[in-house]
Structure 1
């Protein structure tokens, strides 16, 4: 395996997470009281870069923030964890992205994202980061930034022999040539079901009743490999080396806040793939990171170091 300067380069979003705890979520036209507002550094891209660094990986972020207090918060937090920020661009006159998050008593969350500066990330930013991307073993992508930037980054990584990991969240249709570069495509079971047409879903099964069937069906749509996360129920992976999807268990932990757990999982998956693990082994490690992240409040503040991971499920 060729040694590269960076384990993982993340091309993606950076948001300030504005978090309120609630006893129950309001219905239409209803007002409920919540906890004091907490502001945390977040965004799927920034989260993944921090999670890689916490686990001992060499991480860099390509993204955009605004010239405001939230942008300063994000830059300081990323720098404190050792993420390379040479390609994190400040965008004058545009606010930093914000995620408004409500967390229920069971730890589950609901999120509304205002993209702000993230929406200005484009192919020109990727071109400016071409040397950084070429030096990465894995390039991690998500859909909280515009699709043209994601496509440009995927093609740039593939063109220099890097591995492309796409966490297709929030779910949206993507071109076939982008799907074909994904190794793996990472989604949760609900996102997987939404991505498949009715006639492509496993016959006789509800959207999320058969994760292995969903993984096999999704693999037939074009990605090189597929990872479907199932929360506390673990992970299903499938790739060319396995005739059937492989189920990976997750450690059992008490969930306090699920915010950022998927990002911790994807980051750990990318890191272990960068270090040469086979996909099922990388997923086993990643499941431990995802489980660790639900044990504390916030996104980046909950991300574990390597010695804080729970035992395998």
Structure 2
């Protein structure tokens, strides 16, 4: 296999500002203590986290033929992610996101999608799917062309022996309508929502009910639940893991690092319980610095934080 992991999805610069106490229109200016330009996008952060954990990772997606796209390409490559299949869109700009941190752990996210909406199944080379052990897709609702064909992409990957995972992330339209939902979930081995997303996707208020409802369509459902840890529902198993204590600085991208940890653990042969613990450790450890990639865990760090003795 050429790659352990192929990640399909969004990659963009994040402009992080905060703490933001007031936003004033009327052409008024306000000052904040901190501002950073970092690599963003759920898929991009997940890919970097997986590479940091030692996986051979390739990225599939779109950026514009512009300075923002060059920044994304450079940042991914610097973290060991193969960008040979990251398309340069000649017409549309790279997506851009502004993250406004409130200072109490909450944040607002403003995204200009740029070329993300043009991302489609033709951007995913069949030979790359044939060369992967696992295929992960993220930010489902930001890429409607790809979303409509993602089940076929996953089917092709599985036909070559790969496993699959999906993190839908938030739906900016708040509709939570997955085109061809049942066919897609049937070819998704692992679904990785956070608690809010699991409830919205399932229509269930109680989290274990939400996970069980989604799992009935086929995937193992792994739910990120912040300070309450995480839970897993699949087949006849319902597993939970507690949060990993850490002095958190910034939670941006923590869920994507969680995804990377779970996938890496499964590809290394760990069982579901141990993989859930590694994922929780990776999500927690990523919050030690600002931005989604600055503090991502190594495999040794993740296993130590998950209290897995003897795992290499």
RMSD over aligned Cα, in angstroms?
Answer: 2.1
Map of 1:183 onto structure 2 = 189
CA change 1:312–1:69 in 2 (3 A) is same
Structure 1: runs of 5 or more not aligned: 202-206
Q: Which residue of 1 aligns with 2:32?
A: 34
Deviations 1:152-188 (A, max 9, x none): 4222212222111001212432221001112111111
Provide the rounded CA distance (Å) in 2 between the counterparts of 1:312 and 1:272. 11
1:1-313 counterparts in 2 under 5 A?
A: 4-24=1-21, 26=23, 33-126=31-124, 129-142=125-138, 143=140, 144-146=142-144, 147-148=147-148, 150-171=150-171, 172-174=176-178, 175=180, 176-197=182-203, 201=204, 207=205, 210-220=206-216, 222-240=217-235, 243-309=236-302, 311-312=305-306
1:103/1:86 Cα in 2 relative to 1: closer, same or farther (>3 Å)?
Answer: same
Of the structure 1 ranges 17-26 and 259-268, higher mean CA displacement relative to structure 2 is found in 17-26
Residues 36/255 of structure 1: CA separation in 2 closer, same or farther (3 Å cut): closer
Q: Give, in whole Å, the separation in 2 of the partners of 1:259 and 1:233.
A: 17
- Shift of the alpha carbon at 1:25? 5.7
* TM-score, reference length from structure 1: 0.87
| Preserved CA contact (<8 Å) 1:192 1:214 | yes
Distance 1:116 1:151, change over 3 A: farther
State the 1:28 CA deviation. Answer: 9.3
Task: Give me the whole-angstrom Cα distance separating, in 2, the residues matched to 1:28 and 1:303.
Answer: 36
Count how many residue pairs are aligned between Structure 1 and Structure 2.
295
CA distance in 2, matches of 1:55, 1:101: 26
* Aligned 8 A contact 1:107 1:255 in 2: no
Q: CA deviation at 1:94?
A: 1.6
- Cα drift, residue 36 of structure 1: 4.5
> Residues 62 and 133 from structure 1, CA distance in 2 versus in 1: closer, same or farther, beyond 3 angstroms?
same
- What secondary structure, in the 3-state scheme, does the structure 2 residue paired with 1:294 have? helix
Over 3 Å counting, the alpha-carbon distance change for 1:108 and 1:295 in structure 2 is farther
- Structure 2: state its 5+ residue gaps: 308-312
C-alpha distance in structure 1 between counterparts of 2:59 and 2:143, whole Å: 13
1:61 deviates by 0.3
Name the CA distance, whole Å, in 1 between partners of 2:4 and 2:272.
Answer: 16
1:27 Cα deviation after fit? 8.9
Report the equivalent of 1:204: none
Structure-2 separation of matches of 1:112 and 1:153: 29
Q: How far apart are 1:276 and its partner, in Å?
A: 2.3
Counterpart Cα distance in 1 of 2:137 and 2:153: 8
Measure, in 2, the Cα distance between the counterparts of 1:48 and 1:150: 18
> Equivalent residue for 2:310?
none
